[in-house]
Structure 1
Amino acid sequence: MLCYVGTMRPDKDWPSIGGIKFEDYSTRYRSELDLVVKNINADIKGGEKIGIVGRTGAGKSSLTLALFRIIESADGCITIDGKNISKMGLQDLRSKLSIIPQDPVLFSGTLRMNLDPFDSYSDDELWDALEHSHLKNFVLNLPLKLEHEVTEGGENLSVGQRQLVCLARALLRKSKILVLDEATAAVDLETDDLIQATIRVQFAECTTFTIAHRLNTIMDSTRVLVLDAGKVAEFDSPINLLKSKGIFYSMAKDAGLA
């Protein structure tokens, strides 16, 4: 049964806490296809750091696509700070969430436009975000600085630099909820460490979902959600999951972390 609470527009300061609740939530990519996420129940407090792990095809990315309503609910619902996201406009929802994806999306245009497409922030705010995302020195050394022309797809930047531009975007928006979808899978360990360190400090008060490619990036999570065939197999702190010697323990053992 779907959860409905009526059509609504969230308050301007929503979400103020960042609490997320999945209630009997299931989804599929198309109506004729099998469910990819099945009967998920999870109550996540504002500010929690949630790692999401599972073997290939377990439903990790599907869960984050559901949060942005890129795929819609087949059953159950997701609420953020008590508001059912299925009853909001997509712009109202997605403008309040930030994501750093595995394949960062950059557009043909200036660096300024890529950081601030709606011209919402001051130069000081842009430089502050660049500093915290470890890009300030790189941009200062470009002849045109913020007016540097980015080619289609960001091809004239390295993969690591494109990820850091996405991080700077997230820093500017100051969202209460941040999703990292295998965000550091394609970057070197040094860039990975920079991104993780920034997130720990700058998003300390935010709820973060980290889909892990490298398990070491989620070992300091508040809790880890282990998915298996689209269902919640385990959901607890990393230390408790290691002690229970289930799926997470075996994955950590394979990665040389247990």
Structure 2
Amino acid sequence: MPVLAHGQNFSTGLRQILCLSRAILRKNRIIILDEATANVDLRSDELIQRTIREKFANSTVLTVAHRINTVIDSDRVLVMDAGVAVEVDAPYVLLKNNDGAFRKMVEALGQQEYDRLYLKAKAKFERSTFCEK
């Protein structure tokens, strides 16, 4: 199917997937994703995030996201508030800070979701090369 100028014949979500596909084919070493999955459903978000982790495992990926699930297994998270950096560290480390902004955002999702995300962050941290063993 032909792609019209600026992908006008595709939905926003499909345009995002096309951009990601182009980055995969180009084998970019630095990827900047700004709300890359904001216009897709949660199932597609998970598929896209898995693809990003697999295809860009040897690349630097900078992700701007509001969905915490999107960044919970990142190496580092930078939490911004009104344009000011308030925290930066591994998600697991940030979750261990009882008064931290990141922890409060995750807690606001409810106990069940907090527990799920905490375990995911902990597993990533324990696998991480940044973790002292």
**Aligned position for 1:109:** none
Alignment of 1:101-250 (within 5 A): 148-245=1-98, 246-250=100-104
Q: How many residues align?
A: 111
- Check whether the contact 1:242–1:249 (CA below 8 A) recurs between aligned residues: yes
Using the size of structure 2 for normalisation, the TM-score is 0.75
**Aligned position for 1:255:** 109
Between structures 1 and 2, the one with greater strand share: 1
Which protein, 1 or 2, shows the higher relative CO under an 8 Å CA cutoff with sep ≥ 6? 1
Deviation at 1:231, TM superposition (A): 2.8
Alpha-carbon separation, structure 2, partners of 1:186 and 1:174: 24
Alpha-carbon separation, structure 2, partners of 1:160 and 1:239: 30
Deviation at 1:154, TM superposition (A): 2.1
RMSD over equivalenced CA pairs, Å = 1.6
Deviation at 1:190, TM superposition (A): 2.2
**SS of structure 2 residue aligned to 1:192:** helix
Alpha-carbon separation, structure 1, partners of 2:6 and 2:30: 25
Alpha-carbon separation, structure 2, partners of 1:156 and 1:190: 23
**SS of structure 1 residue aligned to 2:31:** strand
Deviation at 1:191, TM superposition (A): 1.8
Alpha-carbon separation, structure 2, partners of 1:222 and 1:241: 12
Between structures 1 and 2, the one with greater helix share: 2
**SS of structure 1 residue aligned to 2:105:** helix
**SS of structure 2 residue aligned to 1:244:** coil
Q: For residues 102-161 of structure 1, give each alpha carbon's deviation from its aligned partner in whole angstroms, at most 9, with x where no partner exists.
A: xxxxxxxxxxxxxxxxxxxxxxxxxxxxxxxxxxxxxxxxxxxxxx32234323223332
Structure 2 stretches lacking a partner, 5+ long? 115-133
**Aligned position for 2:124:** none
Whichever residue aligns with residue 251 of structure 1, its letter is M
Structure 1 stretches lacking a partner, 5+ long? 1-147
Q: For residues 196-252 of structure 1, give each alpha carbon's deviation from its aligned partner in whole angstroms, at most 9, with x where no partner exists.
A: 111110100111111112101111011111122333211111111111021001111
**SS of structure 2 residue aligned to 1:175:** coil
Residues 157 and 222 (structure 1), Cα distance of their counterparts in 2 relative to 1, 3 Å cut: same
| Structure index of larger Rg | 1
